């Protein structure tokens, strides 16, 4: 059997060891609580990032759709403008051709001898 002095020393050592373990457990509990708080914050951050990315993607889609619509309108306007200008150029060319014809007539009349 153990001696009383030896038993007392062993109990004291065990009490010291238990006190150290209690401190470590409390520290671990505090670390776990802090980790839960950080994880909750990270979860909220991820949710916010997802929301921001979704909103950015939706806005980007709206901008691209508006640009496509503008490009379609622009193509139509340019095509209509070219058609209008082509008509005006054709009318101008016809007018110039008529002037050339009149000038040739005048020149032909001017070359004829007068009696």
**Domain range for residue 67?**
50-74
The C-alpha atoms of residue 2 and residue 9 are separated, in whole angstroms, by 11
In a domain? residue 34: no
In a domain? residue 65: yes
Give the ranges where the chain is alpha helix by DSSP (H): 4-111
97: Cα separation from own chain's centroid: 57
In a domain? residue 44: no
Q: What is the pLDDT, as a whole number, of residue 2?
A: 58
Q: What is the pLDDT, as a whole number, of residue 1?
A: 52
In a domain? residue 40: no
In a domain? residue 59: yes
**Residues lower than pLDDT 50 in the chain:** none
Decide: residue 75, CB within 10 A, 0-12 exposed, 13-18 middle, 19+ buried.
exposed
In a domain? residue 68: yes
Q: What is the pLDDT, as a whole number, of residue 114?
A: 61
In a domain? residue 115: no
Q: Are 10 and 2 in contact (CB under 8 A)?
A: yes
Q: What is the pLDDT, as a whole number, of residue 5?
A: 72
Domain count of the fold of the chain: 1
In a domain? residue 82: no
């Amino acid at each position: 059997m153990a001696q009383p002095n030896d038993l007392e020393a062993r109990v004291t050592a065990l009490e010291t060891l238990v006190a150290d373990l209690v401190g470590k457990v409390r520290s671990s509990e505090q670390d776990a609580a802090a980790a839960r708080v950080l994880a909750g914050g990270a979860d909220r951050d991820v949710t916010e990032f997802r929301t921001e990315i979704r909103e950015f993607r939706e806005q980007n889609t709206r901008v691209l759709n508006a640009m496509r619509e503008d490009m379609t309108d622009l193509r139509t306007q340019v095509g209509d403008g070219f058609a209008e200008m082509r008509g005006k150029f054709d009318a101008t060319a016809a007018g110039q051709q008529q002037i050339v014809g009149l000038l040739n007539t005048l020149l032909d009349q001017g070359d004829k001898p007068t009696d």
